[in-house]
Amino acid sequence: MNRLNRNSTTTKDRKVMIFIAMSLDGYIAQLDGDISFLSVVEMEGEDYGYSEFLKSVDTVIIGRKTYDHVFEMGFDNPHPDKEVYIISRSEQADNGSTKYFKGSLKGLVDELKAKPGENIYCDGGAEVINALLTENLIDEIIISVIPVMLGAGIPLFKSERPENKLELLKANHYDKGLVQLHYKVY
Ligand SMILES: NC(=O)c1ccc[n+]([C@@H]2O[C@H](COP(=O)([O-])OP(=O)(O)OC[C@H]3O[C@@H](n4cnc5c(N)ncnc54)[C@H](OP(=O)(O)O)[C@@H]3O)[C@@H](O)[C@H]2O)c1
């Protein structure tokens, strides 16, 4: 069923979306968390669809390590206009408008999808993405392949996950050599 009917208002199904950048050899960061390799595609006035993508989401799921990285860069909340869940296995005090979430990821996604709303963005990192993939909780993946091979780092995809069939929805390439692939996950 693609649409839910609640009180005669039609509500669209919410999708869990990934929008992430990786090196051609599959890394999202250096081993120490450094993501400066992304600068090779920086270009005035070009955000590779990110701001348009953000308009389609109202909720963000983010791994504790990625959140810490963003916090160290000086942002309390990387998405102040959205509902943000920081995923952690330990009990932590909420931080202003962001909430720590310690329970089951499936429980969280099921609860979010049961409410009306826009799409749900998993803002990384790899550990949380792999946990979601393992439980088949991701609906679409947008990957920007950065034209660099890091040789080592934090791999986007870990081994020993179940197989996922994909459908390519869109592929774009840009002047700086970034290739963006948009897949639906079955
Ligand atoms: N290239 C890009 O576009 C991009 C995007 C996002 C992030 N990054 C980079 O990725 C790096 C971080 O990625 P990462 O894979 O190391 O870490 P991560 O996924 O951001 O965070 C891992 C942490 O999330 C919690 N966690 C993960 N799975 C869980 C589960 N199933 N249940 C409960 N809690 C869970 C744990 O927190 P606790 O330890 O607190 O229990 C774990 O240590 C950073 O350097 C960041 O900058 C890059």
Ligand 1 proximity of 148 Cβ (cutoff 6 Å)? no
Inter-CA distances, 108 with 16, 22, 105, Å: 11, 26, 5
24: in domain: yes
Tell me the CB-side half-sphere exposure of residue 19, using CA atoms within 13 A.
17
Tell me which residue has its CA closest to atom 40 in ligand 1.
Answer: 88
Q: Is the dihedral of CA 32, 156, 160, 107 positive or negative?
A: positive
Ligand 1 proximity of 137 Cβ (cutoff 6 Å)? no
Alpha helices in 47-182 (DSSP H): 50-55, 64-72, 105-114, 126-134
Residue 30 C-alpha from the chain's centroid: 18
The share of the chain scoring above pLDDT 90, in percent, equals 83
Angle value at C-alpha 150, between 38 and 175, nearest 5 degrees: 45
131: in domain: yes
Q: Is the dihedral of CA 146, 151, 153, 159 positive or negative?
A: positive
35: in domain: no
Tell me which of 6-10, 151-155, 159-163, 164-168 is least confident.
6-10
52: in domain: yes
Range of the domain at 118: 12-30+46-185
What average pLDDT does the segment 142-163 reach? Answer: 96
Split into its structural domains, the chain has a count of 1
Instruction: Report the separation in Å between the CA atom of 63 and the middle of ligand 1, taken as the mean of its atom positions.
Output: 4
pTM of the predicted model, to two decimals? 0.93
* CATH number of the domain enclosing 80: 3.40.430.10
Nearest Cα neighbor of 153 from 20, 25, 40 is 25
In this predicted structure, what is the pLDDT of residue 96? Answer: 74
| pLDDT single digits (tens) 70-120 | 988 888 888 999 999 999 999 888 877 789 999 999 999 999 999 999 999
10 band by pLDDT with thresholds 50, 70 and 90: low
37: in domain: no
7: in domain: no
